[in-house]
Structure 1
Amino acid sequence: MRKARGPADVAYLTFDGFDPELKPAVEAMEDLGVRAEAVPWDARDVDWGAYRAAVVRSTWDYTSRHAQFLSALRRIGERTALWNPVPVIAWNSRKNYLRHLAGRGCAVIPTVWTTPGGRPTVADLPADWTEVVVKPVVGVGGQHVLRTTDRDAACVYAASGPPMMVQPYLREVDHGGEISLVYIGGAFSHAVRKQGYLAPESLRDGILAPEPGSEWSARPCRPGPDHFLTAGHALESVPGARDLLHARVDMIRDRSGQPRIVEVELIEPFLYLLYDDQAADRLAHAVRDRLGRPRG
């Protein structure tokens, strides 16, 4: 079995692709004396027990190998502490978790769900859904997302492969953007307002991972009190919420002005570390603090 390449404390789980947050996160940890090493989640012959913990960060290729990913994380979690933990990741890896949140009164965007081989009809879509977004139940970033005003085409696409979900396109996003609240170590860290997130030019290696100054529009912002209430309710409704190292809650206001939950990202969220001067340090401190706790 291959040993860790160095006497690292933490394995930063990543993928073979672009991650602009890797360097600032690792450097912030090392500034605190936490030795970190980037390791692909699917690396073979790694002695995971040589690390004190593994932090799931930019595993952005997992959706094409969903079962393999969960199996790999279970193996890693048997050998070392894993943040976020496997039960939370498994729950969050299918967007059906939004049904769980809606059932607990969280303000989730209304959704029509499909099953393998099942095909929604236009009659299944509310009449006021004049423009819709179709996305896979297992997906990341903007991959395989369709936005269209052709409701028939949306239904055909929703039946074209794996389980899909259909939601109304909230036009308020065009001027108000999508608000993302980032939580680190169980506390609110920072927030950004993003726009243009369904544009193909937003993607690199098929992944939505923007950098400041790119064509993709994201800006630090101050969320409203209702954003905090909506996000807090969602996170409190997550099974295993107390074990979260990091989380991101994405919201768009609907026509009535209410924030609606788009996603609660608990696996490998882009944390916008480059959009807040203290964000990487907060992540590093949260990791260091957890390393000081007994494993359990």
Structure 2
Amino acid sequence: MAETAEDAVAKQTDPEQKHVSRENLEWLLKKALKVPRVWLVLSIIFVVLSIVEINETPHAGFSFAIHVTSTTPIFLALVWLPALLTIFALVGGAAKTPAGEISSPGLSDLARIIGDEELGILLEKTAEGQEKGASPIEREKAQQFNKQLQEIYVSRIPITQRRRELENMAREYEYLRRRLLPSGERTLEMESLWGRIQALAPKAHLSSQDILSYLASEGDGERILGLAIAFLSPEPAYFEPLLPMIDGKSHSAFEQHRALLVAEALVPKLNRAQREKLRNCINNQRNYDPSKKRWIAPGIDRDYISMDILEAIEQKDRTGQTI
């Protein structure tokens, strides 16, 4: 017998279908609401950095001021990001629990109600979750989340406006550099832009020549745009315009950091001469001396990335391949 419209409505509103038992909730909370200690410490550091402003003047020396910035609530929210992602991994569809099954619309509904900036941060953090330090299960989870988030973000931009939106983000990057002093707040907003660029770029139908043009540009925003896209599909053709951004001619620490990430992704595709040039470039930058525009100081993120690149070059050289 065919189901009537009334039956369908009754099923949708059946309270038994929406009931979540206490046992299910307790299981979910115990399973999901755990924040890794390292993540918690880093999040607290960023919260503190976002509210403390340090100034130095020739006469008064150092002065401190405390005020809440626009990114403080974002940093506070990000404390719970690992737990949030775990929850959606567990209930984004359906999850078997000791007391039965829980179902949920999952990640999509949450992502649709947050702004582009916050979505960009999630895009960047889930992309970082796919890096080599993560376990295979963590990488797979992060990849799934990132793909869903990309689809949601791209769906917000009409097809005919996608290239224009990328160029708008390049200008937004330059505006951020003018408006904000170096700070955790500025870095977070730049990372949000990076995540959004990487989500949108594959759907904007850019050519290799477009990317080369961005990389060779004198505009800070266009260079970051080029780096974000080159990181998605690294090609040896990008090596020459990339090198100056590593070797002392980068326009910012953020730019050099992202150029190093692209270089690391490029290593497997470089020939022996290119690898040697990259090795010399990085060794020069690791000989830290700001007066000579050598910017990679010991112990910073770029130091560790540069060591990974040198190790990858050595490993590639040992194979005897000259791709």
TM category, shorter: under 0.3
TM-score by length of 1: 0.26
Greater helix share, 1 or 2? 2
Bigger radius of gyration among the two: 2
Q: Which has the higher contact order (CA 8 A, sep 6+)?
A: 1
TM-score (norm 2): 0.24
